[in-house]
Amino acid sequence: MSTLVTGGAGFIGSHTCVELLQRGHEVIILDNYSNSSPLVPGAIRQVSGQDVSVYEGDVRDTQLLDQIFSTHQVDAVIHFAAKKSVRESGDMPLEYYGNNVGATISLLEAMLRHDVHKMVFSGSCSIYGGQYDEPISEDWAPGPTNPYASTKLICEQIIKDAWRRWPKLSVVSLRYFNPICAHASGLLGEDPKGIPSNVLPYMLQVAVGRLPRLQVYGGDWETHDGSGVRDYIHVMDLAEAHCLAMEHLGEEVGLRAFNLGAGEGVSVLQLIAMVEKVTGKAIPYEIVERKFGDVAILIADPSRVEKVWAWRTSRDLETMCTDAWRFQSRYPNGYG
Amino acid at 330: R
Tell which residue, 296, 283, 272, 188, has the closest CA to residue 234.
188
Q: How far apart are CA 102 and CA 30, in angstroms?
A: 16
Domains and CATH numbers, the chain: 2-180+232-260 (3.40.50.720), 199-230+263-330 (3.90.25.10)
* Tens digit of each residue's pLDDT (9 = 90 or more) over 305-325: 999 999 999 999 999 999 999
Active site residues: 148
Amino acid at 287: I
Q: What is the mean pLDDT of residues 87-116?
A: 97
Q: Is the pLDDT of residue 208 over 90?
A: yes
Q: Is the pLDDT of residue 336 over 80?
A: no
Tell which residue, 267, 273, 282, has the closest CA to residue 208.
282
**By the 8 A CB rule, do 298 and 262 touch?**
no
Provide the percentage of residues in the chain whose pLDDT is more than 70. Answer: 100
> What is the separation of C-alpha 318 from the centre of its chain, rounded to a whole number of angstroms?
20
**By the 8 A CB rule, do 30 and 59 touch?**
yes
Q: Is the pLDDT of residue 12 over 90?
A: yes
Confidence tier at 172 by pLDDT (50, 70, 90):
very high
pLDDT of 194 reads 87
Q: What is the mean pLDDT of residues 260-287?
A: 98
pLDDT of 69 reads 98
pLDDT of 193 reads 87
Counting beta carbons within 10 angstroms of the beta carbon of residue 194, is it exposed (0 to 12), middle (13 to 18) or buried (19 or more)? exposed
Q: What is the mean pLDDT of residues 77-83?
A: 98
Tell which residue, 173, 246, 183, has the closest CA to residue 23.
246
Provide the percentage of residues in the chain whose pLDDT is more than 90. Answer: 96
Q: Is the pLDDT of residue 13 over 90?
A: yes
Residues in the chain: 336
* Tens digit of each residue's pLDDT (9 = 90 or more) over 189-204: 999 988 898 999 999 9
Average pLDDT, the chain: 97
Q: How far apart are CA 25 and CA 73, in angstroms?
A: 12
Q: Is the pLDDT of residue 127 over 90?
A: yes
Q: Which pTM was predicted?
A: 0.96
* Tens digit of each residue's pLDDT (9 = 90 or more) over 35-62: 999 999 999 999 999 999 999 999 999 9
pLDDT of 139 reads 97
